[in-house]
Chains A and B, each alone.
Chain A
């Protein structure tokens, strides 16, 4: 009886995950979808705690279980409520790492159990334990490095032969797994097992270390799908259908999302992982000498914007850092009231996560219809009077089209230079995340407006009010 109720709980959980993911694809139902998946998760967790039986005995150690659940929920809830909109990508990365570590710990204890029991396990059982361990660990250390990189605590670190070393790590891990699986009839080899664990920790770090910040969204998405697969390994281990469905669903979806993101940058996944920015082969250059750039004052910017009839705003990470989304929306409303046609051009990889800009602007109540995707925005640029670029750089760099030696060559960009005038707001002339010069800034139609996006926009808004 108990077992069949539990089966129903798991069935409900699995269906809720599928429904939740499906509803997340519709802006109107997305929130409900998230709640449904969350409710399904609660049912599955509660069912496991109270109804799970193995060999006729129910679970014990309830004080530990509830303490762990309470502590984790408290930390997770607090962190999720407190995090700023700009730090959202880091937060997701960190949560993802927690899931990976959880999967790895399960494999660890399961291995200990095998060791204390008989000392041997079947090949399939060992393979699943090892896969959960390796994938979970890589996901954990990789996510922590990605988190550190996004909030600036860890800087890019590359050295000659790094990729060869990474491949060597991976090779050794696979050899280790192969060895343990092949010798599964004998007593398990503890040294090899912990060797694999250490190598996985190193590999996770090394794997993310050389990848530049601009590619972090792709990496987080990939690690997200890794954790999904690691969770599915747990499902195999305990013959648990809800873990299996949830894990594989996320693994498949995450992989597809990763590929979609790579496509948006017109690069292959291999290219992102191996030929990373700042990695050996590409020499992001100062080969071209810097030309002269033109500065524009706040007053002039206000005048130009106030009398333009068609304005396009290109938001980037700078907008997120400065928390300028609200004042940006204010500017947009003000210009619209003056009769101008204002819209936002959203590059798929602007910011640090896909859809980062959409989330940010949604926070400031910007209307959906005003957000143009790249293709549509590019049709609009030739008839646009003023393009205002707020803290975006690589996504408007013409080198992506003209300079085949550039690391971002081939990435589709926003063709802002087709507009009559381009105003670029940046804090300084420093290159963007990909670490390359942007010749857009030196073109005759471009003016530079230096300063923090929020401060500058506030000044522009008050200037326009006074006009």
Chain B
């Protein structure tokens, strides 16, 4: 029990961020018109690609001969990059079509 409390205490600012972000996420999305739901889902999909930063850290910290860390890390980098780049490009393609007919 003490350990859990200590953990929460150590990471208290992280917990604050989590709580605030939950409310913020709900607030921001609550006003999205249904026409934009698909691009929104796709955009959100691209944003969680931020997980790639974790992959970069894993790779960068690994010893150059530690293939047990490098191979999964390398794979994670590729997958993360697909998520980020693909996500933003697909979203842009969808939104491009919305924009075109606004003229």
Contact = CB atoms under 8 A, between A and B. Distances in A.
Nearest to B84: A41
Interface string A65-84: 10111111101110111010
Interface in B42-67: 42-62, 64
A25 B28 contact: yes
Nearest to A254: B44
Contacts of A13: 50
B53 A240 contact: yes
A79 B82 contact: yes
B103 to A, nearest CB: 10
Contacts of B84: 41, 45, 72-73, 76
Contacts of B17: 241, 244-245, 248
Contact of B50 (A80, A243, A264): A243
Contacts, number: 381
Max chain B Cβ within 10 angstroms of own Cβ: one of A67, A91, A231:
A231
A58 B77 CA distance: 18
B102 to A, nearest CB: 7
A204 interface: no
Interface string A95-108: 11011011101101
A298 interface: no
Nearest to B64: A61
A25 B52 CA distance: 25
B3 A122 contact: yes
Contact of B7 (A17, A33, A124): A124
A232 B90 contact: no
Given A30-B95, A59-B59, A359-B38, A103 B26 contact: no
A153 interface: no
Contacts of A35: 92
Contacts of A37: 43, 46-47, 88
Contact of B47 (A235, A249, A355): A249
A31 interface: yes
Contacts of B51: 99, 102-103, 106, 227, 230-231, 234, 243, 247
B12 to A, nearest CB: 12
Interface residues of B, number: 84
B83 A96 contact: yes
Contacts of B32: 24-25
A459 interface: no
Contacts of B10: 124
Contact of A98 (B34, B43, B80, B98): B80
Nearest to A83: B90
A6 to B, nearest CB: 11
B95 A80 contact: no
A324 to B, nearest CB: 16
A227 to B, nearest CB: 5
B41 A221 contact: yes
A232 B21 CA distance: 11
Interface stretch (A187-195, A365-373, A422-430): A365-373
B88 A34 contact: yes
Interface residues on A, range: 35 or more
B77 A240 contact: no
B25 A41 contact: no
A92 interface: yes
Given A95-B83, A231-B51, A359-B97, A45 B69 contact: no
A84 to B, nearest CB: 11
Interface string A340-369: 000000001000011110110011011110
A237 B77 CA distance: 17
A52 B37 contact: no
A79 B18 contact: no
Contact of A76 (B25, B86, B100): B86
B82 to A, nearest CB: 4
Contact of A236 (B14, B53, B85, B90): B14
A322 B85 CA distance: 28
A68 B96 CA distance: 29
Contact of B56 (A52, A98, A366): A52
A100 B27 CA distance: 25
Nearest to A181: B4
Interface string B64-94: 1000111011111111111111111111111
B86 A79 contact: yes
A76 B80 CA distance: 9
B48 to A, nearest CB: 4
Interface stretch (A109-117, A274-282, A399-407): A109-117
Contacts of B52: 45, 102
Contacts of A20: 43, 47
A21 B28 contact: yes
Nearest to A75: B82
A264 B58 CA distance: 42
A224 B41 contact: yes
Contacts of A54: 57, 61
The 4 closest A-B pairs by CB, nearest first: A72-B81, A59-B60, A68-B77, A252-B25
18 contacts: A48-B56, A49-B60, A65-B56, A76-B81, A76-B82, A88-B94, A91-B90, A95-B86, A98-B86, A99-B80, A105-B55, A109-B72, A123-B3, A220-B41, A224-B48, A231-B49, A234-B51, A239-B11
